[in-house]
Amino acid sequence: MSSSITIRNLVKDFGSTPVLRSIDIDIHEGEFLALVGPSGCGKSTLLRMIAGLESITGGEIRLGDELINDVAPRDRNIAMVFQNYALYPHMTVAQNLGFALQMQGTDRKEIDQRVRQAADILGLDQLLGRRPKQLSGGQRQRVAMGRAIVRRPEAFLFDEPLSNLDAKLRVQMRTEIKALHQRLGTTTVYVTHDQVEAMTMADRIVVLKDGVVEQVGAPLALYDQPRNAFVAGFIGSPA
């Protein structure tokens, strides 16, 4: 089951430094939303607040109808895929995939079934017995996504998941993540500083600058009708 995410008047200060200033974003159920903007503009902070990994200075975050401001990260049905996907080195791929479910007390049969399904979706069937060091970068990235999929979350959050991969693999993984989204239809917030990634993958793009939303729109709308020079420069410039 996929859910909308509603962000209202969201504020984040680190000490006396404002990082996010009154953010309003409606992330529709099932959509693929890219969050773009220069380094330091607050993308990761916003994502971490949705995941519950960062405290909220002000405002509201809702998952579907539920206000989740005070819900612990493990009780939010949201899965985050990080840039530095830390797999457990001593565990096999299958164990890496099933670990979170095991911690939740899911029964063995259910775990095996979900791990097999995730492996099937991501083409990891032949790799279930391997350990992370026996995998390529792309395969590790797939396992990291698999760990998110097995939880069957209401939303996926990606924080620059491809930035450690080489250019060729990046293009391939873009296609794979898009295909995954089309198959599962799970609400996705995808942070990237790569305009091409955002333009080719997203249903809509949010452009963030210095903790403020500059513009929200479909890729073509932003391209054709940028609201200001910043958006034009950011969307129009080569990656």
Q: Which residues bind ligand ADP (CB under 6 A)?
A: 14, 19, 37, 39-45
Q: Which segment (41-49, 72-80, 93-101, 129-137) binds Mg ion by CB under 5 A?
A: 41-49
Can you read off the two tokens belonging to residue 133?
């060091």
53/71 with CB nearer Mg ion: 53
Tell me which of Mg ion, ligand ADP, none is bound by residue 41, counting a contact when its beta carbon lies within the kind-specific cut-off of 5 to 8 angstroms. Answer: ligand ADP
CB of 102 to ligand ADP, least distance (A): 30
Q: Is 3 in the site for Mg ion (CB under 5 A)?
A: no
CB of 234 to ligand ADP, least distance (A): 13
Residue type, 123: G
CB of 33 to Mg ion, least distance (A): 16
| SS3 at position 166 | coil
Tell me which of Mg ion, ligand ADP, none is bound by residue 237, counting a contact when its beta carbon lies within the kind-specific cut-off of 5 to 8 angstroms. Answer: none
Q: Is 192 in the site for Mg ion (CB under 5 A)?
A: no
- C-alpha span between 144 and 124 (Å, rounded): 11
- C-alpha span between 126 and 120 (Å, rounded): 9
Strand arrangement, sheet containing 17-27: 17-27, 5-14, 58-63, 66-67
111/222 with CB nearer ligand ADP: 222
CB of 25 to ligand ADP, least distance (A): 15
Can you read off the two tokens belonging to residue 31?
């959509």
Tell me which of ligand ADP, Mg ion, none is bound by residue 219, counting a contact when its beta carbon lies within the kind-specific cut-off of 5 to 8 angstroms. Answer: none
- C-alpha span between 210 and 213 (Å, rounded): 8
Tell me which of Mg ion, ligand ADP, none is bound by residue 42, counting a contact when its beta carbon lies within the kind-specific cut-off of 5 to 8 angstroms. Answer: ligand ADP
Tell me which of Mg ion, ligand ADP, none is bound by residue 161, counting a contact when its beta carbon lies within the kind-specific cut-off of 5 to 8 angstroms. Answer: none
Centre a 10 Å sphere on the Cβ of residue 62 and count the other Cβ atoms it contains.
Answer: 16
CB of 144 to ligand ADP, least distance (A): 18
CB of 124 to ligand ADP, least distance (A): 29
Helical ranges in the chain per DSSP H: 43-51, 93-103, 108-122, 137-149, 167-184, 195-201, 219-224, 229-236
14/88 with CB nearer ligand ADP: 14
- C-alpha span between 25 and 182 (Å, rounded): 22
| 66-73: long-range contacts, CB 8 A cutoff, minimum separation 24 | none
Q: Is 44 in the site for Mg ion (CB under 5 A)?
A: yes
Which residues in this chain contact Mg ion in the complex, by CB under 5 A?
Answer: 44
